[in-house]
Every structure is written in structure tokens, then in C-alpha cells.
A and B are shown apart, each in its own frame.
Chain A
Amino acid sequence: MAAQELLRIEGISKRFVKPVDLAGRIANMMGASNREAVVHAVDGVDLSVAEGEVVALVGESGCGKSTLGRVIAGIHEPTEGRVFWRGQDIAMMDSAHRQAFTLGAQMIFQDPMSSLNPRIRAGEIVGEAPRVHGLVDAAGQAEYVATLFRQVGLDPDYRRRFPHQFSGGQRARIGIARALAVKPKLLVCDESVAALDVSIQAQVLNLFMDLREALGLAYVFISHDLGVVRHISDRIFIMYLGRVIESGRTDEIFREPAHPYTRALLDNVPRLDARKRSFSTVKGEIPSPLNPPPGCHFHPRCPLAGPRCAVEAPRRTVLSEGRIVACHLADGGVAAAA
């Protein structure tokens, strides 16, 4: 890859622990055996993003894509593993370099209504962070905010308005302007277009592509919508219950999905050109991440599963340059339990 690496994560795991509550502790004194519940939200993920690249994290609810996105954006500390920003481990950084990372990776959330303070005017929402971080002085703030508003396609006259006075698409644009205000190199977009109407979604996707071109931004694009992902991303990471089960270039994955889950996902996507189709289905539901199945997490739903899948977690197998799949089918077959 020619472009310079911007961010790399290695062996990232994130666990959330739900401690035993008071009632449980009292019950334990009486002889019950309540233990703390541990959710492996993200389990040993490696990933890298180059400058100006769009990487997509895809998966269904509970697969850990949002948690991973938050680790990448520096909102969550990983339980295990290391995050490198421009080749430097952020855990080893001094505060000045650390700030370059925290400002350099910005997050855009799904629901602009719950991520914008309803009592603060749009201009202040966008202008606060650059002023606090000394990117702009108080005198230049108004002009700076106006520039950002124009950049995301909002009328600068709307600066005095409150978030509720905007439409859904405009609120999404405010969220984008706020992220852009601190001159980031990487935007982590967590389902940022999922709640928008189709025509507005197209406008915002076009805006993302324009900004990428104009500012050389890299994106980590988190979505459950494979149509959106196919359109916007260079590489895809497909996640299932905390693990990356397949990754590679977008066009390759869409042409030739290697993992049975990827195949099922692609088959299940509603498409404009698939008329009056019979919907093929994957059996069963997504298991609870509190209690994931042993071996390969997907094996209870997998049409091709064999005895080995239930006992042994699949290793990552490199299929070709940059193309990785975690499935026994690509690694010696499903039959023999080792």
C-alpha cells in the first residue's frame, strides 16, 4: 500500500464487566453462586487505516463494531492490545502527542439529537472545541465557524439556531462540522447515515466523499448497511460477536465472499434489481455476547459447520494480499476435530 499508515490497532480486546449487585451479593452469602458477567465486546482485533482510506466495519447488532469504533476514536480504553497513531503507541505518548491523536481521530454519532446539546446554539457547538484547543482565537471564531458551516452545506446564518430548529439531515451536518472543527485526519462515523431518509442519506454520503477529496480525510465507517458500505469504502472488516471474521478489499469481498456469514449477509441484502425474490435465510438469531457459543461463534447458524467448528476457534487465514478470513473451511476443513 502506497499511502502512509495513519492508525493501526493490534490485538484489541474490550471487555465490559457487570459486577454482582447488592441483591446478588446477599444471595451469595446464603450460598448462591452469582458471578460477575463479562461481555467480550471486542475480541482480539487487528486493523489498520491508511491516510485518506475508507475502512468499513460491518456487522449486525451486538457484533462489537461500535465498541471497536469507540476504541479507535480514543473514547474507550482497550482492555488489551495496543493502538498506534502514525506508528507511535498511544499508551507511550507524552501529552502533546496524545493530543494530536485525540484531536486527529474524531467521531460522528448516529443520532445527532442525542449527541448535540439541545441548549447550546449550533455555532457554539461547532466553535467551542477549536477555541478551547487554541486552533482559533475568540475574535476569529465566528468566521471560522462560518467557513465550517459552508463546508458542510449549511447556511452560516443558522449559527444562532438551536439543534431542534434543524431537520435531521441538517443536524447530521452539524455533527460533521463539529468533528471537522478540530482539523482531524480520521473520522469515525458510527451509523451516521442510518437514521436519515434515502434522499438525505445520499446528500450526506456525497458530502463525506467531497470532504475526503478536499481534506484528504480517512474514515472508519461503521454500518450495518452493505449497500452504503459498498458505495463508500475501500476495505471492509466483517464482524460477528466481537471477532473479525473476514476482511479485505471491498470489491473482492463483494465479488467472492469467503466466510459463510459474509455470504449470508450479502445474500440477505435487499437490492433494487432483485425483484419478487425468495428470501434465503440464515437460521436462528444472533447469540448473546454474554454467552457466546464455543469454537467458531457462527457455527450454530452456519450451513456448512462441522464437528471441528464447535470446539476450535478458527485461526486467521490469509487468502491473498490483504485478504483474511477466519473459517475452518479455508484452513483444513471442518470435519476433523484436532
Chain B
Amino acid sequence: MAEPVLAVDNLATHFFTRDGVVKSVDGVSFTVAPGEVLGLVGESGSGKSVTGFSIMGLIDPPGRIVSGSIRLKGEELVGRTEAEMRAVRGRSLAMIFQDPMMTLNPVLRIDTQMMEAVHAHEKVSEKAARDRAVQALAQVGIPSPEERLSAYPHQFSGGMRQRVAIAIALIHRPALIIADEPTTALDVTIQSQILAEVQKLCAESGTALVWITHDLAVVAGLADRVAVMYAGRIVEQGLVDDVLDRPLHPYTHGLIGSVPGDSMPGKRLMQIPGSTPSLGRLPPGCAFEPRCSRAVETCRAGAPPLAQGSHGRAYRCINPVPAEEAA
């Protein structure tokens, strides 16, 4: 197996608030190989976005990374100074956000913003920077990129803005892109266009991708591997086919059953009772135990250990879903 682009090991990011410590990410480990797409799935508050921000070094007080390591192409990122992180960010590591208006400055033209991104890491002429920007826009499928370059963000539609954000992320051909729900706000046909572009770009350039989403169906279509997060921990991970066809963790199983459309129309959906727990007041044992239909006495005793399977399959459950129920 190739050397992983990204290796996250036992990462813990906690927020120290007045109401106590919020363990948003608590012992998360995963790796991403070159050209691989990892789907990081979870519901609101599961810590999937904080994991992404931790990798980017974008955790602000009261939060901080309390332990663990994040290695990008073998180099440790945890503990770097802000100046050192700036050299990495945008160059070998890039992020795409859910709302492109968050990434784009509304009062600057697209060319100013894109050329600034080029100049941030490379000393090249204005002309060369401009060419790079045109190239990047063409790459993400923006028609007549040269003309569009002198437009302002508000002159673009939502889908086009997201393409510009992706183009900026791609400018330095990073080794890893972290995409935080970039298509959630888009229409189905536009989402499909963006997913097609992203798929093509990753295959061509060998860029690894961490795709953060709540939508299991998007992960099914896009990702090679999937990691399911719940209350700050990865409760199950493995190849997409393995996890979706044969979920072992009851949470994954419930999540798959909750997706409408594939189960019988008109029937009640399999539902997970209750709602996601507050991260400040987690139960002592398995965080999913209060909502779990398979919970047993020992679930309350302590956090379940990580069980390993083949092909990088791992899960945290002492009473996994048996094969006959998972199908």
C-alpha cells in the first residue's frame, strides 16, 4: 500500500468553555492514500467539521488540539506555529467550505482573489498568475473563464461560486483537499455536475480528498472508504461497500435505514430514537448507548474498544449488528 497522504492518529480537539470541556473530537484516527476519497459522515455535532478544521490548523480558542498527531506526507502538523501552517495551507492542503460566500471576498473581483492565492505561495509574474487562474477556472468547467475572471462573486450563481472556490483550492495542486459539505446547499443537477468535476480532478491529479457530509448517498457514489462519526468518535470505518452493505455498528445501521427512497415506499422508516447527545454531558460508556436498540449492561461501563477487521475495517461496538439483520 502506498504511503498515506494524511495520517490522523488519536486526534483529540476539545473546547474549554465556561460550561465545561466539550470534547468535539475525541480519539479519531484514520488515513487517506493518494487519490483516495474518504467520506467522513456524521450528523450535526458529531465532530466531523471540527476534525476537518483541526487538520487545517483552524481551531481557535477556546478550542485546541489536546493530543494526537496529524501527519501530512509524513510531516507532523500538530504543534506548528501559525506562520508554519500558513506555508502549508493552500499549498499542499486546501479546504472547500459549505458556503462559498465564506471563502470568497464579496468586494474583490475573482481575478484579484485567485491571483492573490497564486502569489501567496509562488513568486511569479502577474501574467503567469493570471494564466494559472484562467486554467484553474477552465478546469472546474466554468465557461469563458477569461471573461468571468473580472466578475464579482455576487454575479455568479451558487453552483458557479462553489466551482470558483474549488478552483482556488486546486491552484497549487494540493496533496489533500478537505471538502466540508460543499454540495449540500446546491440543487441536485448542480450537485451532480460538481461531483463529476471533483471525481475527474481527483482521478487525474492524484489529489486525496476528505469529503465531509451528512449525506450517506453522496458518499456511496463518490467515496472509496467511509468513516462514520458519532459524538466525537469514529464509530465505524472501512470500504464503502463493506460498511454500507454490512454495517456492524448499530448507529451506522440505523443511519442507513433512515435514508428514505431505497426502503419500501410508504412503509415506516427505521428510526433511531432520541437525538444526538450534548457533547458536554456524554454518558460514561458508549455515547450511543442511550439510543441504541442493542445496548447491553456492559455498554454503560466504559467506552467500547476499537475492533479491527480486514481491509481497514474498524468499529467501536461490543454488540455489533449480526449479518442477518444488517442486510
Contacts and interface: CB of A to CB of B under 8 A. Distances in A.
Interface in B251-284: 254-263, 265-266, 268-273, 275-276
A231 B217 contact: no
A203 B222 CA distance: 27
Contacts of B159: 285
Interface in B175-231: 187-193, 195-196, 199, 214-218, 220-224
Contact of A278 (B158, B199, B275): B199
Interface in B234-260: 240-241, 244, 254-260
B191 A205 contact: no
A166 B222 CA distance: 34
Contacts of A280: 192, 196
A201 to B, nearest CB: 7
B19 to A, nearest CB: 15
Nearest to A301: B189
B192 A272 contact: no
Interface stretch (A80-88, A101-109, A261-269): A261-269
B259 A227 contact: yes
A282 B189 contact: yes
Contact of B221 (A201, A264, A276): A276
B214 A281 contact: no
Interface of A: 60-61, 167-170, 197-203, 205-206, 209, 224-228, 230-232, 250-251, 264-265, 267-282, 285-286
Contacts of B105: none
Interface of B: 43-44, 157-160, 187-193, 195-196, 199, 214-218, 220-224, 240-241, 244, 254-263, 265-266, 268-273, 275-276
Given A168-B44, A227-B217, A199 B272 contact: yes
B269 A272 contact: no
Contacts of A61: 158, 187
Contacts of B158: 61
A150 to B, nearest CB: 16
Contacts of B263: 231
Contacts of B241: 275
A205 B261 CA distance: 12
B268 A206 contact: yes
A272 B259 contact: yes
Contacts of B189: 60, 264-265, 268, 281-282, 286
B187 A286 contact: yes
A31 B256 CA distance: 62
Contacts of B160: 285
Contacts of B265: 230-232, 250-251
A279 B276 CA distance: 32
Contacts of A197: 43-44, 214, 276
Given A60-B187, A205-B260, A271 B217 contact: yes
A268 B191 contact: yes
Given A276-B221, A279-B195, A279-B221, A198 B216 contact: yes
Contact of A202 (B187, B191, B260, B262): B260
Given A272-B220, A274-B220, A199 B43 contact: yes
Nearest to A206: B268
A205 B221 CA distance: 24
B196 to A, nearest CB: 4
Given A168-B44, A272-B259, 18 more contacts: A167-B275, A197-B44, A198-B259, A205-B260, A206-B271, A224-B188, A226-B188, A227-B259, A227-B260, A228-B260, A269-B261, A271-B220, A272-B217, A275-B240, A276-B221, A276-B224, A285-B160, A285-B190
A338 B272 CA distance: 57
B254 A199 contact: yes
A201 B258 contact: yes
B262 A209 contact: no
B258 A198 contact: yes
B220 A273 contact: yes
Contacts of A265: 188-189
Nearest to A197: B43
Contact of A230 (B217, B224, B261): B261
Contacts of B275: 167, 169-170, 199-200
A170 B274 CA distance: 10
Contacts of A277: 221
Contacts of A60: 187-190
A73 B3 CA distance: 59
Given A226-B188, A251-B265, A286-B187, A279 B260 contact: no
A270 B268 contact: no
B240 A202 contact: no
26 contacts: A61-B158, A170-B275, A197-B276, A198-B43, A198-B215, A199-B43, A202-B257, A202-B272, A203-B271, A203-B272, A206-B268, A206-B269, A228-B260, A228-B261, A230-B261, A231-B263, A265-B189, A269-B217, A269-B261, A270-B191, A271-B262, A274-B221, A275-B241, A276-B221, A281-B193, A285-B160
